[in-house]
């Protein structure tokens, strides 16, 4: 399949292997300019309102951005309530803004699933290139709430927990989804 160089911000054609890491970073997160802007705006916000308030504002902005996407996806499918529908539609059939991440299922039953970023996260990789360790951890806590937001939008009856984070120094990002 031919590459489509015109597509940006996560709009790519598969297979991902057809792209270099740099091309994927550029498409997935707006490249280094996106990461640099995020870090700069985060520092400005921290200096203006303090770290805790900045964290709350960034979390809310990210959550409010992604929640409607999960909600719309669920509505399109008739609002399914089972875990398998969420996993299949978030991973297998997900739109490119999600599907760029090379997630794998490490454990899955009807009531519980554990997913991992096995290779790398495009967002984390871009941020690590421009932010110090403290800022990486800060953004890992407040910027990376999109999985929680999408899950809550799709089905608030599914418990979501991120148990590992590349931006917090772990070897991968790991997500646990559990039907209540």
Give residue 20's pLDDT band: very low, low, confident or very high (50, 70, 90).
confident
Mean pLDDT within 11-29: 62
pLDDT in tens, 47-99: 999 999 999 999 999 999 999 989 998 999 899 989 988 888 776 665 544 44
pTM: 0.78
Q: Residue 25: is its pLDDT beyond 80? A: no
pLDDT at 103: 67
Residues 147, 62 contacting (CB under 8 angstroms): no
Domain annotation for the chain: domains and CATH numbers? 16-179 (3.30.1380)
pLDDT at 78: 93
Q: Residue 39: is its pLDDT beyond 80? A: yes
């Amino acid at each position: 399949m031919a590459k489509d160089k015109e597509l940006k911000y996560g709009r790519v054609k598969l297979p991902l292997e057809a792209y270099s890491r740099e091309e994927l970073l550029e498409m997935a997160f707006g490249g280094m300019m996106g990461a640099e802007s995020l870090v700069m705006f985060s520092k400005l916000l921290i200096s203006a309102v303090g770290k805790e308030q900045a964290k709350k504002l960034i979390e809310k902005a990210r959550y409010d951005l992604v929640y409607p996407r999960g909600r719309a996806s669920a509505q399109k499918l008739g609002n399914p309530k089972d875990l398998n529908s969420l996993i299949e539609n978030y991973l297998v059939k997900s739109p490119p803004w999600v599907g760029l991440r090379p997630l794998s299922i490490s454990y899955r039953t009807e009531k519980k699933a554990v997913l991992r970023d096995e290779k790398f996260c495009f967002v984390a990789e871009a941020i690590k290139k421009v932010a110090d360790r403290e800022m990486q951890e800060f953004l890992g806590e407040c910027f990376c709430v999109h999985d929680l937001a999408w899950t809550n939008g799709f089905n608030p009856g599914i418990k979501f927990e991120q148990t590992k984070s590349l931006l917090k120094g772990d070897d991968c990002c790991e997500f646990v989804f559990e039907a209540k």
